[in-house]
Homo-oligomer: A and B are copies of this chain.
Amino acid sequence: MNPIAFWTKSLLGVFCVCVGLAAAPFLAEASADREKLLTEPGVYGTFALFSLGDTWTKQDQATRISQLTLLKGVVEQHREKIAIDLYLLRGLSDQADLMFRVHAAELRDTQQFLVDLQNSPFGKYLKGAGLMHGLTKKANYVPGFPDQLKADLKVVSEPGSKPYAVVIPVTKSADWWALDQDKRAAMMQEHTEATLPYLKTVKRKLYHSSGLDDLDFITYFETSKLEDFHGLILSLEKVKEFQYTRQFGHPTLIGTIKSLDEMIEALAQ
């Protein structure tokens, strides 16, 4: 670690303590809501992508740190209503440098957060690079699956951190939607069976987008083993349902999951 990086770390450490003292109470309060937002149906998930403008790194480090402190304030201020996750895409995806995943009961609350973010001193360096919205819903096809498959799906994910996140937007063809529910259910069962070998090492979450964006679904993955994730996708490309997929990725977004403090440290350098 070079001296400048070390100095940043110390400075951020001090600053984190200060903010931490004040923020602690409502952070605890917020986490109950966060749990609900991240697990229940009927919640809107937004993926907001940003590029960092050229001028960001041209500022001196002290200015950047003071602006990131204000970013922290904006995030904390909205954490009561919405759940915010951060991802560093720079170096892994060319579409954007940062991604915010926001869960909210109302899209208006997400909009308010993103408007406040862009109005903040740090936000002035962010350039919007994409926005996708989806809705969490109760499982559509699972209730009709055989009992054995339902049981297999209850496998517990391997413990330990999953540093990588991948987002793949999906659109189905008009032919898919024209199929009756039975035919779609049969194909989704084959699709689901193909995922079984990867349940332990790849976590998945599904968002329904029709009408909220130019997508039908946003699929979100977390893993510590990208080779397993690659195997999962390869298996999914081979099932019949894939032939009804019109858009898969474009963009595929790949990044690493960061806490707010880790992200601030990464951006301060």
- Which residues of chain A have a CB within 8 Å of any CB of chain B? 42, 44, 48-49, 53-54, 57-58, 88, 90-94, 107-108, 110-115, 118-119, 124, 128-131, 133, 135, 163-164, 166, 168, 174-175, 177-178, 208-214, 216, 226-227, 229-230, 232-234, 237-238, 240, 242-243, 245, 249-252, 254, 256, 266, 269
Q: Closest residue of chain B to A213, judged by CB? A: B252
Complex CA distance for A266 and B93, rounded to whole angstroms: 27
| Measured CA separation A129–B238 after assembly (Å) | 31
Shortest beta-carbon distance, A191 to chain B, in Å? 13
CB contact under 8 A between A90 and B111, given known A58-B124, A124-B58, A178-B240: yes
Nearest CB in chain B: distance from A80 CB, A: 15
Closest B residue to A269 by CB, please name it: B119
Number of copies: 5
Cβ–Cβ < 8 Å partners of A240 in chain B: 178
Taking CB atoms, residues of chain B closer than 8 Å to A135 are 226-227, 230
Quick one: given A90-B118, A118-B90, A227-B42, are A211 and B233 in contact (CB under 8 Å)?
yes
Give chain B residues whose Cβ lies under 8 Å from the Cβ of A129. 94
- List residues of chain B with CB within 8 A of the CB of A251: 214
* Distance from A133 Cβ to chain B, minimum over Cβ atoms (Å): 7
Cα–Cα distance between A88 and B111 once the two chains are bound (Å): 9
Contact in complex: B252, A212 (CB < 8 Å): yes
Contact B266 A115 (CB under 8 A): yes
Chain A interface main SS type: mixed
Is there an interface contact between B234 and A131, defined as CB atoms closer than 8 Å? no
Decide if A211 touches B229 in the complex (CB within 8 Å).
Answer: yes
Cβ distance A208 to chain B, nearest Cβ, rounded Å:
7
For this complex, 6 residue pairs linking A to B, each with C-beta atoms less than 8 Å apart, are: A54-B124, A90-B114, A91-B118, A92-B110, A135-B230, A208-B230
What's the Cα separation between A90 and B107 when bound, in Å?
Answer: 12
Max chain B CB contacts within 10 Å: which of A113, A115, A211, A237?
A211
On chain B, the residues within 8 Å of A108 by CB distance are 163-164, 256
Smallest Cβ distance from A93 to chain B, in angstroms? 6
Query: Which residues of B are found within 8 Å of A91, using beta-carbon distances?
Result: 48, 110-115, 118, 131
Write the nearest CB–CB distance from A135 to chain B, whole angstroms. 6
Asked whether, in the complex, the Cβ of B226 is within 8 Å of the Cβ of A212, the reply is yes
- Once A54-B124, A242-B174 are accepted as A-B contacts, the answer to whether A226 and B111 lie under 8 Å apart by CB is no
Residue of B nearest to A127 (CB): B54
Chain B nearest CB from A226 CB (Å) reads 6
